[in-house]
Amino acid sequence: MPSDNQSFNYFLRERGADWDVRSLLYHIARSVKYINFSIRAGNTGGAGTENASGESQIAMDILADKIISKELEKSQLAKVIASEEQDEPMTFKSHRGNYFVAYDPLDGSSLVDANLAIGTIFGIWESPEMVGNKAGDGMVAACYAVYGPRITLTIALKGKGCHEFELNDVGEFILTRADITIKDDTTYFAPGNLKVCRENPKYATVMQRWLTKQSKLRYSGGMVPDLHHILSKGHGIFTYPKDKSQPEGKLRLLFEGAPFAFLFNEANGVGKNQAGHDILDTIVTDYHQNTTVFIGSKNEVKAVTDLLA
């Protein structure tokens, strides 16, 4: 339970977040509340359509995408927005702000029918120029919401740490955890894309490492709750390696990999790709480009990416 009842806007102002970023986050928080209502009340069936990555969409993916784009439009601060569910980014020439916002409206939406936790992910950059730059260039904030038994919003601001807020019964996000810090070592593992063990015996070696260490498996199939588990417990590793059919991995750089790498960097963790390089150093070539993902406790991520080298 929150000890000091601080609203997220109050807390971020005290931390020195500038007005525009707080205003963007205010609109993001509103969209999270609307998405939460829609999940509880809405249609969880398929939409009969596919997104830019060729994945089936459910009606909720499309609704969440609309809710977020409308809120970001209202903010007048995002010059360009890009969604995992839209082929092309959207530009608002008349907006006074110059921010770029990338988002995955409903990550893990294939888990909705099974009633498992899902989430929404956002990255915020101070300039709309992305292609040709490193993913981390100009990144000022990232956040994600978890729609589980409780609704949480975890926010990281450049140089100002990573903090968790929880939606209370009057619709406010209240501070629950300030300055989340990840330990360098861990006894938890969340192994994505395990089928890779067959084509890449090195991944089987990694798996053997965790079994030998008697690490605890904590894997739900949703990147958001799996990574939230690590931030909540203060240690862990999440992996999603490449395979023959997905040579750059499955997860998207701008909508998933970079926002979480940023959040973990602010929490003393790391976000690397399979080659052991910082995800945030990846050059952006396409809004929908993929990345392999190895995120969590520093020493464990290093040990695992070394084994895969």
| Cα 160–Cα 290–Cα 125 angle in degrees, nearest 5 | 30
Contact 191, 207 (CB under 8 A): yes
Contact 269, 217 (CB under 8 A): no
Binding characters for ligand AHM, 275-304, by CB under 6 A (x = yes): ------------------------------
**Residue 274 contact among ligand AHM, Mg ion, none, beta carbon within 5 to 8 Å by kind:** none
In angstroms, rounded to a whole number, what is the distance separating the alpha carbons of residues 212 and 136?
A: 35
Which is closer to ligand AHM, CB of 97 or CB of 222? 222
Q: Does 86 bind ligand AHM (CB under 6 A)?
A: no
C-beta of 221 vs 234, nearer to ligand AHM: 221
List phi, psi (to 5°) of 162.
Answer: -125, 130
Select from 281, 167, 287, 296 the least CA-distant residue to 240: 296
Q: How far is 258 from 276, CA to CA, in rounded Å?
A: 15
By CB under 6 A, residue 222 contacts ligand AHM = yes
Q: Is 123 in the site for ligand AHM (CB under 6 A)?
A: no
The structure tokens 């409308």 sit at: 70
Q: Give whichever of 223 and 308 is closer to ligand AHM, judged by the CB atom.
A: 223
Which among 111, 69, 117, 122 has a CA at the least distance from the CA of 92? 69
Q: Which does 164 bind (CB under 5 to 8 A by kind): Mg ion, ligand AHM, none?
A: none
Number of residues that bind ligand AHM (CB under 6 A): 13
The 3-state DSSP composition of the chain as helix, strand, coil percent (nearest 5) reads 35, 30, 40
List of residues contacting Mg ion (CB under 5 A): 104, 107
What residues numbered 171-210 form the site for ligand AHM, per CB under 6 A? 192-193
222 binds, among Mg ion, ligand AHM, none (CB under 5 to 8 A by kind): ligand AHM
Least CB distance to Mg ion at residue 84 (A): 6
Q: Are 181 and 198 in contact (CB under 8 A)?
A: no
Stretch touching ligand AHM by CB under 6 A, among 149-157, 219-227, 267-275, 300-308: 219-227
Six-digit token pair at 213? 């260490």
Judged by CB under 6 A, does residue 55 bind ligand AHM?
Answer: yes
Which residues of this protein are in contact with ligand AHM, per CB under 6 A? 55, 84, 104, 107-109, 192-193, 221-223, 240, 250
